[in-house]
C-alpha cells in the first residue's frame, strides 16, 4: 500500500526554488549520497544491492539536515517553515518514510525575541509526545543557522482548510472536533500539571489519515511554574492569534490555562458560523471588541441553545465564571449539555469516526496541504558574535 | 484499528456526532488520481443521496499536481460561498503574534523601577483625559494609572513634516499629542514607498488630546500608517511597550503574591490546594473605603469575604462602647459568610482610608465548590483555628 513513492521533483530540482542554505545542504546530501552509492558499487560488485546499506535510525543518532531530502513545504510562519522530508539514506523502507521537519532560523528567533518560546516548544513537545491528539516529536537537532524539530507527518492537512472549504461545520462535526480538543486541554492543563497551549485555532489543528485531530505548533505553549509556596504562577507574555486572544491577555492581567478555554469558545463559534465572533481588518478593533463586547450570534445559520451556551460560558471575561476554569475543570466541560450523549472514553480511544476523511492516497501524500513558495526572503546572517551570545540557549536542540 | 466497528452506546441515532457523513471510504483513500473523490459539504443536507449530490470535491481544492494547485493557491484562498461571509471578512490564515517575554522582577532580580518624568498638574490632567477613553487604559487601577502617567516622556517635534511613524516599520511606541497636530497617511502597499507620493493618502489628522500607535503597546507589529507633524512646534508624550506592559505586570504580580500569602493564613482555607488558593487570589476584587465607612454592617446578610490590604478597621457591636477587635493589613474578616447565610454579627468600620480585597460567596463556590465539601476534606471542625475564638462575626450554632 505504501509502496508508491511520491514524485519528489523538488528534491532533484535546482537550488532556485530552495531556501538558500537548505539548497546547499540538500545538494551536499545528494552529492554525498551519490558518492556513497558509487563507492559501494565500486567496492562490492557481487554484494546484494541493499545489504550493506547502513540503516537509518532516526532516534539514535546525531542528525543533520543532510540526513533528509525535502519533498515540499507544508507551511510557513514568521521565523519557521515546516517541510515534508524523507531520509536521504538508509534502507528502502526507511527512505520511504516521511516526516514533518520544522525549521527555525536562529537569527529570526533572536530578532523576534522568541528564544524562550522556542526552548519551551522543544521541551513541552518532548513531554507531551505520544498523546493521541498531539503531534509527536521524533528528534531535534541544530546547525550553525537553524534549529530543527523532526515531527510525525500528519497527512490530512489543516482543519482550517476544510473549514474554509465547507464554509462552516454543522453541530455534530463541531462537537466531534471540540470533544477531541477538550481531551487535549484536559491532558495539558490537568494531567501535565498546568501547560497552557496559548494558540488554539483551526490553523493549528491537523487531521490524521482517519480524520482525528492532531494539535500542532507548541511555539507558545508554556508550563506554568510554581512559586515557593507551591502556588501556580500566572504568566504575562502576550502571545496567540488576535481573534483568539483572551481578554486577560490583552489587558496583561496575568494569564493561565484559562486562556485555552476562552479560545475553544471562539473556535466552536468559528466552526459553526465560519468566522470568529470578533474580527476586524484592524487588530486594535478586534481587541476592543474582545474586552468590551459580548459574543453575538448570527440568525443564519441557526445555532442550538446548547452550543450558544457553551460558547458564552467559555467566552466569559470573568475567569471566576469561565467554564473549564471553574470548579470541576474539564470534567465540568464534558458534562455540558452541548456534549450530551458523548462517550468520552470512546472519544479518547478514537472510536468515533471522523466526520471528514482526508483524501490521503499514500503515507507521504501532501495533497491536503496548500502549496507555499519554497524560497525564503534574504535573511540576516547568524554572526559569530550572535553565536557566542545565544548558542547556549539552543543547546537542548 | 478501524473505527467502523464502534457502536455508540446510545444507539445509532443517538450518536452525539451524528451519523458518519463525510467519508470517502477507506478504499478510496488510495484510489487512482482520476477517480473523483466526492466529499459533500457537511452543511448540505443532500449528502447521502449519492456522490453527485452537489458535492464539493477535494479535487478542486487539494487535487491535481503541485503546479496547478500552486496557481490556485497563490494569494489568499477564496472559499466557496464567498458572498455569505460578512463583508470584508478576511478568510486567510491568521498569523500568530507575540510580544517579547516578560518576567517579573522577582524572577529576574534586575531591580526594575518604572521610569518617571515629572509633569505639571495641568499636563497630568490633559494626559489623563487623553487616555481615559482608550480600552488599554480604561481598566487600570489607580496605582498603575499613575505609574504609567509618570512614565510618559515628552518629545518635541520642532518642525513641520517630520515623520514620527513610518508605515511598515516596527512599532514600539504609543504617542499622545500634547500640542500641535499630526497628519496620518496610508499607502495601500502597506509600507512607505519612495517618491513624492510614497506616503499614500492622507486619512486623518490628530490634534492635541488625541493619540496614535496604540497597537505598539501590545506587541511589535509593522506600523499601519505614516504619521508626520502638520505644523511646527508640536509636542508629544511617548510611552514604550515594555514599560507599559511591565508596569501592569509588576503590580499585578506583586498583588497576586500578596493575596496568596494572605490566603495561606486563613484557617478556613487550610484544606484548599495551592492551585485553588491561586484561583481565589485571581478572583479577589480590590475595593477602597473612606474612613468611617461600614464595610460590613451588623445584622445584614453576609455574602462576601474580605482581606484587609491597606489601612485599619475595627469591629463594633451594638450596645458595646469600645471596638471588639482591631484589624490591620493582612487581617481578614467575614469568611463565615462563605460558610453560612447567618447575618453579620458585628460591623466592621474603616478607621483610616482602607483597601480591601473581597470575594463573594458565589465566586468562591463557582471556583472551588461548596465550602461545606471543602471542610469535609479534613476535619476542619476539629482544627484549632482561632476563628471561632476571636472573630466577632462568628455566630455560634444553636
**Which of B135, B148, B103, B155 is closest to B241 using CA atoms?**
B148
**Which of 16-35 (B) contact A at CB < 8 A?**
16-18, 20-26, 28-31, 33
What is the pLDDT confidence band of residue A30, given thresholds at 50, 70 and 90? low
What is the pLDDT confidence band of residue B342, given thresholds at 50, 70 and 90? confident
Q: Tens of pLDDT along B238-282?
A: 999 999 999 999 999 989 999 999 999 888 888 888 888 888 998
CB B83 within 8 A of CB A99: no
Per the listing, cell 470512546 goes with: A346
B108 pLDDT higher than 70? no
**DSSP one-letter code for A187:** I
Q: How far is CA A101 from the centre of its chain?
A: 11
- Chain A CB within 8 Å of residue B76 CB: no
Per the listing, cell 483524501 goes with: A359
**Interchain proximity A236–B102, CB inside 8 Å:** yes
Closest partner CB to A352 (pick from B3, B275, B282): B3
Mean pLDDT calculated for residue range A230-254: 93
C-alpha cell at position A358: 482526508
Q: Tens of pLDDT along A181-194?
A: 999 999 999 999 89
- Chain A CB within 8 Å of residue B99 CB: yes
What is the pLDDT confidence band of residue A24, given thresholds at 50, 70 and 90? very low
- Chain A CB within 8 Å of residue B367 CB: yes
Report the alpha-carbon distance of residue A232 to residue B71 in Å, rounded: 50
Question: Which residue of B19, B74, B93, B262 is the best one to mutate when testing the A interface, meaning the one whose CB has the most A CBs within 10 A?
Answer: B93
Chain B contacts of A9, Cβ < 8 Å? 66
Predicted pLDDT at B273: 86
The size of chain A, in residues, is 397
**Interchain proximity A287–B97, CB inside 8 Å:** no
What is the pLDDT confidence band of residue B112, given thresholds at 50, 70 and 90? confident
Q: Tens of pLDDT along B31-50?
A: 333 333 344 344 433 333 33
Question: Which residue of A113, A255, A274, A359 is the best one to mutate when testing the B interface, meaning the one whose CB has the most B CBs within 10 A?
Answer: A359
Mean pLDDT calculated for residue range B87-116: 83
Quick one: which H or E segment has residue A292?
helix A283-292
Predicted pLDDT at B384: 39
**Interchain proximity B15–A341, CB inside 8 Å:** yes
Chain A residue with CA closest to B100: the answer is A113
Report the alpha-carbon distance of residue A344 to residue A334 in Å, rounded: 8
The residue from A199, A208, A260, A365 that is catalytic is A199
Q: Tens of pLDDT along B59-74?
A: 222 323 333 333 333 3
CB A67 within 8 A of CB A89: yes
Q: How far is CA A124 from the centre of its chain?
A: 12
B19 pLDDT higher than 90? no
CB B277 within 8 A of CB B269: yes
Chain B residue with CA closest to A361: the answer is B30
**Which of B227, B219, B129, B99 is closest to B175 using CA atoms?**
B227
CB B174 within 8 A of CB B217: yes
Q: What count of other Cβ atoms lies within 10 Å of the Cβ of residue A136?
A: 16
Q: To the nearest whole angstrom, how far is the Cα of B334 from the nearest Cα of chain A?
A: 20
Mean pLDDT calculated for residue range B189-218: 93
Residue B312 annotated as part of some ligand binding site: no
Three-state DSSP state, B331: coil
What is the pLDDT confidence band of residue A381, given thresholds at 50, 70 and 90? confident
- The percent of residues above 90 in pLDDT, for chain A, comes to 70
**Interchain proximity B363–A320, CB inside 8 Å:** yes
Closest partner CB to B8 (pick from A230, A254, A343): A343
Greater model confidence, A7 or B250: B250
**Interchain proximity B264–A226, CB inside 8 Å:** no
Quick one: which H or E segment has residue B281?
helix B274-283
Mean pLDDT calculated for residue range A231-250: 94
Report the alpha-carbon distance of residue B239 to residue B246 in Å, rounded: 12
**Interchain proximity A234–B17, CB inside 8 Å:** no
Residue B379 annotated as part of some ligand binding site: no
Mean pLDDT calculated for residue range B53-57: 30
Closest partner CB to A252 (pick from B100, B248, B367): B248
**Interchain proximity A327–B367, CB inside 8 Å:** yes
Q: To the nearest whole angstrom, how far is the Cα of B27 from the nearest Cα of chain A?
A: 9
What is the pLDDT confidence band of residue A32, given thresholds at 50, 70 and 90? low
Report the alpha-carbon distance of residue A110 to residue B274 in Å, rounded: 35
What is the pLDDT confidence band of residue B141, given thresholds at 50, 70 and 90? confident
**Interchain proximity A291–B22, CB inside 8 Å:** no
Q: Classify the phi-psi angles of B38: left when phi > 0, otherwise alpha if psi is within -120 to 50, otherwise beta.
A: beta
Chain B contacts of A343, Cβ < 8 Å? 8-10
Predicted pLDDT at A151: 97
- Chain A CB within 8 Å of residue B66 CB: yes
B312 pLDDT higher than 60? yes
Q: What number of C-beta contacts closer than 8 Å exist between A and B?
A: 257
Residues 6+ apart with CB under 8 A from B57: B36, B37, B38, B39, B63
**Interchain proximity A354–B3, CB inside 8 Å:** yes
Report whether the peptide linkage leading into residue A64 is cis, meaning its omega lies within 30 degrees of zero. Answer: no
What is the pLDDT confidence band of residue A33, given thresholds at 50, 70 and 90? low
Task: Encode burial over B148-157: b for 16+ CB neighbours within 10 A, e otherwise.
Answer: bbbbbeeeeb
Work out the burial of residue B44: count CB atoms within 10 Å of its CB; fewer than 13 is exposed, 13-18 middle, 19 or more buried: middle
Greater model confidence, A25 or A298: A298
B184 pLDDT higher than 60? yes
What is the pLDDT confidence band of residue A37, given thresholds at 50, 70 and 90? low
- Chain A CB within 8 Å of residue B134 CB: no
Report the alpha-carbon distance of residue A344 to residue A185 in Å, rounded: 14
The tally of CA atoms less than 13 A away on the side-chain side of residue B40 is 19
Predicted pLDDT at B335: 84
C-alpha cell at position A197: 497551549
H helix runs in chain B, sequence order: 58-61, 66-73, 105-108, 121-132, 142-151, 241-264, 274-283, 361-368, 371-377, 387-390
- Of these ranges, A244-258, A383-397, B268-282, the one predicted with the greatest mean pLDDT is A244-258
B306 pLDDT higher than 80? yes
Chain B contacts of A369, Cβ < 8 Å? 62
What is the pLDDT confidence band of residue B340, given thresholds at 50, 70 and 90? confident
**Which of 373-392 (B) contact A at CB < 8 A?**
none
- The percent of residues above 90 in pLDDT, for chain B, comes to 48
Quick one: which H or E segment has residue A34?
helix A20-43
A134 pLDDT higher than 80? yes
Predicted pLDDT at A228: 74
Q: Nearest 5 degrees, angle CA B309-CA B310-CA B311? A: 135
- The percent of residues above 70 in pLDDT, for chain A, comes to 87
Quick one: which H or E segment has residue B360?
strand B354-360
- pTM to 2 decimals? 0.82
Quick one: which H or E segment has residue A312?
helix A305-314
Q: To the nearest whole angstrom, how far is the Cα of B352 from the nearest Cα of chain A?
A: 28
Chain B residue with CA closest to A373: the answer is B70
Q: Classify the phi-psi angles of A252: left when phi > 0, otherwise alpha if psi is within -120 to 50, otherwise beta.
A: left
Report the alpha-carbon distance of residue A374 to residue A81 in Å, rounded: 9
- The percent of residues above 70 in pLDDT, for chain B, comes to 71
Instruction: Judge whether A116 counts as a catalytic residue.
Output: no
Chain A contacts of B43, Cβ < 8 Å? 166-170, 301
Q: To the nearest whole angstrom, how far is the Cα of B79 from the nearest Cα of chain A?
A: 5
Report the alpha-carbon distance of residue B229 to residue B160 in Å, rounded: 5
ipTM for the predicted complex: 0.83
Predicted pLDDT at B28: 35
- Chain A CB within 8 Å of residue B281 CB: yes
**DSSP one-letter code for A258:** H
Residues 6+ apart with CB under 8 A from B326: B312, B313, B314, B315
**Interchain proximity B99–A239, CB inside 8 Å:** yes
**DSSP one-letter code for A253:** S
Predicted pLDDT at A299: 92
Chain B contacts of A240, Cβ < 8 Å? 96-98
The tally of CA atoms less than 13 A away on the side-chain side of residue A109 is 26
**Interchain proximity A361–B20, CB inside 8 Å:** no
Chain A contacts of B23, Cβ < 8 Å? 353, 357
- Chain A CB within 8 Å of residue B109 CB: no
Report the alpha-carbon distance of residue B204 to residue B182 in Å, rounded: 8
Residues 6+ apart with CB under 8 A from B229: B157, B159, B160, B161, B162, B164, B180, B181, B182, B183
C-alpha cell at position A272: 459553526
Quick one: which H or E segment has residue A386?
helix A384-390
**Which of A163, A206, A262, A244 is closest to B85 using CA atoms?**
A163
Residue A165 annotated as part of some ligand binding site: no
What is the pLDDT confidence band of residue A148, given thresholds at 50, 70 and 90? very high
**Strand duo B201-207 + B181-186: pairing:** antiparallel
Q: Classify the phi-psi angles of A133: left when phi > 0, otherwise alpha if psi is within -120 to 50, otherwise beta.
A: alpha
Closest partner CB to B99 (pick from A157, A237, A362): A237
A103 pLDDT higher than 80? yes
**Interchain proximity B31–A361, CB inside 8 Å:** yes
Q: What count of other Cβ atoms lies within 10 Å of the Cβ of residue B342?
A: 15
Predicted pLDDT at A176: 97
Chain B contacts of A114, Cβ < 8 Å? 98
CB A222 within 8 A of CB A235: yes
Mean pLDDT calculated for residue range A284-302: 95
**Interchain proximity A251–B278, CB inside 8 Å:** no
CB A315 within 8 A of CB A262: yes
Greater model confidence, A1 or A58: A58
C-alpha cell at position B222: 509593522
What is the pLDDT confidence band of residue A75, given thresholds at 50, 70 and 90? very high
Closest partner CB to B56 (pick from A165, A168, A256): A165
What is the pLDDT confidence band of residue A31, given thresholds at 50, 70 and 90? low
CB A358 within 8 A of CB A209: yes
Question: Which residue of B94, B186, B215 is the best one to mutate when testing the A interface, meaning the one whose CB has the most A CBs within 10 A?
Answer: B94
Q: To the nearest whole angstrom, how far is the Cα of B353 from the nearest Cα of chain A?
A: 25
Amino acid at each position: 500500500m505504501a509502496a508508491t513513492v511520491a514524485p519528489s521533483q523538488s528534491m532533484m530540482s535546482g537550488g532556485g526554488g530552495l531556501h538558500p542554505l537548505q539548497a546547499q545542504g540538500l545538494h551536499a546530501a545528494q552529492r554525498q549520497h551519490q558518492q556513497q552509492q558509487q563507492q559501494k558499487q565500486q567496492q562490492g560488485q557481487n554484494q546484494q544491492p541493499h545489504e550493506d546499506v547502513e540503516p537509518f535510525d532516526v532516534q539514535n543518532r546525531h542528525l543533520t539536515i543532510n540526513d533528509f531530502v525535502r519533498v515540499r513545504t507544508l507551511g510557513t510562519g514568521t521565523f519557521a517553515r515546516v517541510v515534508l522530508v524523507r531520509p536521504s539514506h538508509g534502507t528502502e523502507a526507511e527512505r520511504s518514510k516521511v516526516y514533518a521537519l520544522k525549521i527555525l532560523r536562529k537569527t529570526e528567533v533572536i530578532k523576534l525575541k522568541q528564544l524562550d518560546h522556542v526552548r519551551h516548544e522543544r521541551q513541552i513537545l518532548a513531554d507531551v509526545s505520544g498523546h493521541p491528539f498531539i503531534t509527536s516529536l521524533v528528534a531535534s537537532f541544530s546547525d550553525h543557522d537553524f534549529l530543527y524539530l523532526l515531527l510525525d507527518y500528519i497527512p490530512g492537512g489543516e482543519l482550517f482548510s476544510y473549514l474554509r472549504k465547507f464554509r462552516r461545520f454543522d453541530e455534530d462535526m463541531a462537537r466531534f472536533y471540540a470533544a477531541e480538543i477538550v481531551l487535549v486541554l484536559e491532558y495539558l492543563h490537568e494531567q501535565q500539571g498546568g501547560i497552557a497551549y496559548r494558540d488554539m485555532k483551526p490553523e493549528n489543528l491537523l487531521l490524521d489519515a482517519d480524520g482525528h485531530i492532531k494539535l500542532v505548533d507548541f511555539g507558545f505553549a508554556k508550563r506554568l511554574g510554581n512559586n515557593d509556596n507551591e502556588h501556580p504562577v500566572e504568566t504575562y507574555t502576550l502571545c496567540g492569534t488576535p481573534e483568539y486572544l483572551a481578554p486577560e491577555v490583552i489587558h496583561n492581567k496575568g494569564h493561565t490555562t484559562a486562556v485555552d478555554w476562552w479560545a475553544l469558545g471562539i473556535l466552536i463559534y468559528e466552526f459553526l458560523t465560519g468566522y470568529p465572533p470578533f474580527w476586524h481588518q484592524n487588530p486594535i478593533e478586534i481587541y476592543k471588541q474582545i474586552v468590551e463586547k459580548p459574543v453575538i450570534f448570527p440568525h443564519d445559520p441557526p445555532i442550538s441553545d446548547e452550543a450558544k451556551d457553551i460558547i458564552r460560558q467559555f467566552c466569559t471575561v470573568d475567569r471566576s465564571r469561565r467554564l473549564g476554569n471553574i470548579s470541576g475543570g474539564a470534567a465540568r466541560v464534558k458534562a455540558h449539555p452541548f456534549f450530551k450523549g458523548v462517550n468520552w472514553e470512546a472519544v479518547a480511544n478514537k472510536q468515533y469516526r471522523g466526520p471528514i476523511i482526508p483524501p490521503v492516497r499514500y503515507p507521504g501524500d501532501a495533497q491536503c496541504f496548500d502549496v507555499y513558495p519554497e524560497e525564503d526572503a534574504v535573511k540576516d546572517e547568524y554572526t559569530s558574535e550572535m553565536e557566542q551570545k545565544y548558542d547556549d540557549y539552543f543547546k537542548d536542540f | 484499528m478501524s473505527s467502523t466497528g464502534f457502536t455508540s452506546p446510545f444507539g445509532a441515532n443517538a450518536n452525539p456526532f451524528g451519523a458518519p457523513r463525510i467519508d470517502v471510504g477507506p478504499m478510496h483513500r488510495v484510489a487512482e488520481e482520476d477517480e473523483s473523490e466526492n466529499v459533500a459539504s457537511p452543511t448540505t443536507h443532500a449528502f447521502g443521496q449519492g456522490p453527485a449530490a452537489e458535492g464539493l470535491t477535494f479535487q478542486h481544492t487539494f487535487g491535481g499536481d503541485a503546479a496547478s494547485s500552486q496557481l490556485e493557491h497563490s494569494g489568499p484562498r477564496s472559499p466557496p460561498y464567498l458572498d455569505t461571509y460578512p463583508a470584508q471578512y478576511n478568510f486567510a490564515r491568521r498569523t500568530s503574534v507575540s510580544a517579547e517575554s516578560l518576567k517579573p522582577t522577582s524572577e529576574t532580580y534586575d531591580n526594575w523601577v518604572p521610569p518617571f518624568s515629572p509633569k505639571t498638574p495641568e499636563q497630568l490632567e490633559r494626559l489623563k483625559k487623553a487616555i481615559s477613553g482608550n480600552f488599554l487604559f480604561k481598566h487600570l487601577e489607580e496605582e498603575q494609572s499613575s505609574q504609567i502617567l509618570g512614565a510618559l516622556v515628552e518629545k518635541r517635534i520642532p518642525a513641520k513634516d517630520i515623520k514620527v511613524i513610518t508605515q511598515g516599520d516596527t512599532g514600539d511606541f504609543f504617542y499622545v499629542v500634547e500640542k500641535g497636530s499630526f497628519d496620518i497617511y496610508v499607502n495601500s502597499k502597506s509600507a512607505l514607498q519612495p517618491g513624492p507620493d510614497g506616503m499614500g493618502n492622507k486619512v486623518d489628522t490628530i490634534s492635541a488630546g488625541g493619540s496614535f500607535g496604540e497597537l505598539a503597546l501590545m506587541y511589535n507589529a509593522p506600523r499601519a500608517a505614516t504619521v508626520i507633524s502638520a505644523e511646527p512646534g508640536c509636542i508629544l508624550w511617548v510611552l514604550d511597550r515594555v514599560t507599559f506592559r511591565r508596569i501592569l505586570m509588576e503590580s499585578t504580580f506583586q498583588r497576586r503574591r500578596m493575596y496568596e500569602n494572605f490566603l495561606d493564613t486563613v484557617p478556613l482555607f487550610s484544606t484548599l490546594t495551592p492551585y485553588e488558593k491561586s484561583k481565589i487570589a485571581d478572583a479577589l476584587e480590590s475595593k477602597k473605603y473612606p474612613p468611617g465607612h461600614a464595610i460590613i454592617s451588623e445584622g445584614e446578610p453576609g455574602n462576601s469575604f474580605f482581606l484587609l490590604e491597606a489601612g485599619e478597621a475595627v469591629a463594633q457591636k451594638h450596645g458595646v462602647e469600645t471596638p471588639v477587635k482591631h484589624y490591620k493589613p493582612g487581617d481578614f474578616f467575614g469568611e463565615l459568610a462563605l460558610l453560612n447565610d447567618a447575618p453579620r454579627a458585628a460591623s466592621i468600620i474603616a478607621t483610616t482610608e482602607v483597601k480591601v480585597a473581597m470575594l463573594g460567596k458565589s465566586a468562591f463556590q463557582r471556583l472551588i465548590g461548596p465550602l461545606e465539601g471543602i471542610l469535609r476534606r479534613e476535619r476542619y471542625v476539629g482544627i484549632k483555628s482561632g476563628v471561632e475564638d476571636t472573630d466577632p462575626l462568628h455566630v455560634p450554632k444553636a
